[in-house]
Structure 1
């Protein structure tokens, strides 16, 4: 399969080389905000990559300013709880979550909200020194809705996860490394190349052993993940029935401080 011949709107797929496929998020004017189309395009490529025995490892990256600064707030602002529960993006997240081959995130700049959730879906995260991680959904009157509460807690522990989920504060690359979220830190201009080097090393290993090793490591932390994800998704949808959610989205779009009333 020649992935580079496939044209997408929101991502760029680089030519397969040494068993490594690089997917670049490509909405630079929106800091790679994760709209439905972008997630769907990632899922399409991963479905094909899983079937292609020539693909041994996939690297997911953004640009120097942002891996992904979050979900597309304008796309989500007016959704109802029913819309959120029926959101087609859930199917894309499931494809990413169940991808059997190694997935590496090369992160520079902002990696927030859905962007941080996307990075945490990956098996390894490497970051540039300029990277900033976080789950700032609380600032919009909602909570993470694609695994943020569950994976952040699994990776950071309860106290640190609470610290960042409840405040919406950002975490530096150094803090993310010390917390165990990030595997390695590099100069921003080296981040993608270093991620590809790791991917090439993995691509040289026995494919079945790599697949089973990934599954075994995930089993160590995923035993109760599905029930936690189900609760998070329902809570996320319920919040779209509150006036505070509408206020948070409107304030973000219009660049003003939100005024929450607890309703």
Structure 2
């Protein structure tokens, strides 16, 4: 059996549970976690008995985003973009529905991960957003405009870099259902019960059809386009200064600089 170090993988009947397991780092997505996550999705997708994959996070957060801590080996821009595309593509192309069970913060790359799933459930105490916009880094995979009820909601979140609570995320169309704290597992199980009443072949076919709609709208094309745009923003004055403060004074100091400084 495959042994993982940054995720947990468990099969319960027809459901594969993939839990991000870096709780001390708020499940920040580093290179190893992304590789293991993709492997787990492939493993579940290859199992004909699996009907649904549920993605959750251990600890107090779903995921705080891509790991930008100075204590992690820094990836090159090219490697970082590749990782951010491929694990989201694995969700998109999986045979089975993937459900995000969000309990806590789903921010930056963690927000992308939650929104890229076929369905997203969240507890009332959860929050969503792209605070990385404050240091000049648009999401490297443009998921948000394809899931919001209105492009104006996507503009609002990306222009401001603010975070919103689960109820507001639901109003914007980011979340299928908001449930009280403690009720998340039961709500997801109820949804799985409903999904399994539909033949697996029909679910797979409909997922392909809906994916085709997204592709027609440019989902994969924008995934390739914003790779090059993301490379440019990584070299902006704001992003460069953020990394310098992070490396010299620590991540918390860099984040405080982000929130306290007007950017040109």
Does residue 123 of the first structure (1) align with residue 118 of the second (2)?
yes
> For 1:6, which of 2, 7, 15 is the aligned residue?
2
Q: Which residue in 2 is equivalent to 1:144?
A: 139
Does residue 51 of the first structure (1) align with residue 46 of the second (2)?
yes
Q: How much does 1:250 deviate?
A: 4.1
**Runs of at least 4 residues off by over 6 Å:** none
Does residue 104 of the first structure (1) align with residue 99 of the second (2)?
yes
Q: Which residue in 2 is equivalent to 1:228?
A: 222
5+ long unaligned stretches in structure 1: none
SS at match of 2:18: strand
Q: Which residue in 2 is equivalent to 1:257?
A: 257
Q: Which residue in 1 is equivalent to 2:64?
A: 69
Greater alpha carbon shift after TM alignment, 172-181 vs 122-131:
172-181
Q: Report the Cα distance in structure 2 between the residues aligned to 1:238 and 1:80, rounded to whole angstroms.
A: 13
Q: How much does 1:234 deviate?
A: 1.0
Q: Which residue in 1 is equivalent to 2:34?
A: 39
Q: Report the Cα distance in structure 1 between the residues aligned to 2:162 and 2:179, rounded to whole angstroms.
A: 23
5+ long unaligned stretches in structure 2: none
Q: Report the Cα distance in structure 2 between the residues aligned to 1:91 and 1:18, rounded to whole angstroms.
A: 27
Q: Report the Cα distance in structure 1 between the residues aligned to 2:196 and 2:35, rounded to whole angstroms.
A: 25
Q: How many residues align?
A: 253
Residues 34-64 of structure 1, C-alpha deviations (whole Å, 9 max, x = no match) = 1111111111011111111011110001145
Q: How much does 1:232 deviate?
A: 1.3
Alignment of 1:82-97 (within 5 A): 82-84=78-80, 87-97=82-92
SS at match of 1:74: coil
Q: Report the Cα distance in structure 1 between the residues aligned to 2:209 and 2:263, rounded to whole angstroms.
A: 46
Q: TM-score, normalised by structure 2?
A: 0.87
Q: Which residue in 1 is equivalent to 2:195?
A: 202
